[in-house]
């Protein structure tokens, strides 16, 4: 990214971040999952979908700009969402780099096949698409990162958090 340096810092999620993360989670899905009814996505989903996960927030000037929520046992990036008003500022890339640093060897996630913006983002960050399936929102693509095998595909066998 060639934009100006941004004063965003990454830090562990705190209880007081909940409402901001929940609002971002709803707003970003309404925009990204454009083929779905917007009322499918509500802030209350955040607690359910992030339960038991390790969450890191990107904060700027005391405001949450985005977050990543990781299901550690499967090296699985469950949720990666940036406030739509702050897309394109390098925040998503920083959160994804944190995932790489956290695991050091490999990690993976699911991306809806129709979410072309996110797929372009993952490609730009050096992650690789391969394999997939279908869930309640439509077809999804497995997207993975591997330190040793840049073209590796994950085993999409479902873990507890990755149905």
Ligand X SMILES: CC(C)(COP(=O)(O)OP(=O)(O)OC[C@H]1O[C@@H](n2cnc3c(N)ncnc32)[C@H](O)[C@@H]1OP(=O)(O)O)[C@@H](O)C(=O)NCCC(=O)NCCS
When the beta carbons of 90 and 154 are compared against ligand X, the nearer one is: 90
- Work out whether 68 is an interface residue with ligand X (CB under 6 A): no
In DSSP terms, 55 is beta-bridged to 69
- Work out whether 90 is an interface residue with ligand X (CB under 6 A): yes
The first and second tokens of residue 4, run together, are 């100006």
CB 141 within 8 Å of CB 111: yes
- Work out whether 32 is an interface residue with ligand X (CB under 6 A): yes
- Work out whether 127 is an interface residue with ligand X (CB under 6 A): no
* Dihedral class, residue 71 (left if φ above 0, else alpha if ψ from -120 to 50, else beta): beta
Beta carbon of residue 148, minimum distance to ligand X (angstroms, whole number): 23
Side by side, which strands form the sheet with 63-71? Answer: 9-12, 54-60, 63-71, 76-82, 106-112, 138-146, 128-135
- Applying CB under 6 A, which part among 10-18, 79-87, 127-135, 145-153 lies near ligand X? 79-87
Q: For residue 76, give the DSSP letter.
A: E
Among 8, 20, 57, 118, which residue interacts with ligand X (rule: CB under 6 A)?
Answer: 118
When the beta carbons of 99 and 109 are compared against ligand X, the nearer one is: 109
- Work out whether 13 is an interface residue with ligand X (CB under 6 A): no
Among 71, 81, 108, 145, which residue interacts with ligand X (rule: CB under 6 A)?
Answer: 81
- Say how many C-beta atoms besides its own lie within 10 A of residue 149's C-beta: 12
The span from the CA of 106 to the CA of 73, in Å, is 12
Q: Point out which residues bind ligand X (CB under 6 A).
A: 1, 28, 32, 80-82, 87-93, 109, 111, 115, 117-118, 120-121, 124-125
């Amino acid at each position: 990214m060639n934009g100006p340096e941004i004063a965003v810092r990454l830090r562990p999620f705190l209880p007081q971040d909940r409402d901001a993360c929940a609002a971002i989670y709803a707003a970003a899905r309404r925009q990204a999952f454009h083929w779905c009814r917007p009322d499918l996505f509500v802030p209350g989903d955040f607690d359910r979908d992030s339960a038991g996960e390790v969450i890191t927030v990107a904060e700027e000037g005391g405001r949450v700009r985005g977050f990543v929520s990781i299901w550690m046992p499967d090296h699985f990036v469950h949720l990666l969402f940036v406030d739509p008003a702050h897309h394109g500022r390098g925040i998503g890339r920083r959160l994804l780099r944190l995932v790489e640093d956290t695991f050091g060897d490999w990690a993976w996630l699911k991306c809806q096949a129709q979410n072309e913006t996110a797929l372009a983002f993952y490609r730009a960050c050096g992650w690789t698409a391969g394999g997939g399936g279908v869930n309640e929102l439509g077809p999804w693509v497995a997207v993975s990162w591997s330190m040793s095998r840049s073209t590796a595909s994950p085993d999409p066998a479902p873990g507890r958090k990755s149905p």
